[in-house]
Amino acid sequence: MSEFVYKDYLPANARVIIDYKKEQKVSFSYPIEWSYWKAVWKRGYFTVLGFWVVLHAILFRYFFYYLLVPIIVIKSIFFPFIIERSAKLVIIDFGIVFVYFLLPMIITAFYFFALPAIATLILAFNKDRLSYWLPKMGYWSAYLLDGRKEATFTEKDVSGKKCIIPAFSNIFLKYKANGEFNEYLEKVEILEMPFNYKKRKFFSLRPKNERNDFDFRAVFYFSETPRKGWLNVEFI
């Protein structure tokens, strides 16, 4: 039996309940009435875009010192003064403005926004391919930003025949049970944490009651309290 009853929480979130004792194919469903292509562009594209941006942010962070000096040197060599000043007139060479400012902006926009759109389109023409790559991109985006957590549960961590990850992002969860933890494990459940909190907007004097939609908890249920073995969990 679930710890909580969920009635009106955000339907876009995935909730997972796995019967550990039965061989079953785990499936996900999102009760939002979107067409396939609308879902691709409202969810898939932003997953690809997020991975693309995070990847470049990480690369820039690690190679910052190798890029900084060359950029300064190139800028000093190839960026001449583009404004000629006189007492009454400021003359701007729009050709130079286009070459050195507008064109780089167009190329940058294409590189960071259009390329992920093209990649999303290529993936979306094959649903199996899309469903294979999107979770991986979402995982790597979260992993590169925050890293992966790991916990090992033993007998002392079991309470009421349960082991609990109290709060995580529900992006990645991998577990491996050993000994009696594997023998007695019955169910794994991932659901939102049902709580409300007060949030005050910058220009508002009165706080607004908000509902949590993005913090989850994972509960591992056992038929008996395991005494031997362990349960190793990796999650984001």
Output the pLDDT for position 66: 56
Output the pLDDT for position 25: 61
Output the pLDDT for position 84: 46
Instruction: Give yes or no for a contact between 127 and 185, defined as CB atoms under 8 angstroms apart.
Output: no
Output the pLDDT for position 94: 61
Residue ranges of the chain with per-residue pLDDT less than 70: 1-14, 20-33, 62-100
Output the pLDDT for position 138: 85
pTM for the structure as a whole: 0.61
Q: Is 192 left (phi over 0), alpha (psi -120 to 50) or beta?
A: beta
Output the pLDDT for position 83: 45
Output the pLDDT for position 69: 53
Output the pLDDT for position 89: 44
- Among 232, 236, 217, smallest CA distance to 173 is for 236
How many other β-carbons are positioned within 10 Å of the β-carbon of residue 203?
A: 5
Instruction: Give me the phi and psi of 60, to 5 degrees please.
Output: -65, -35
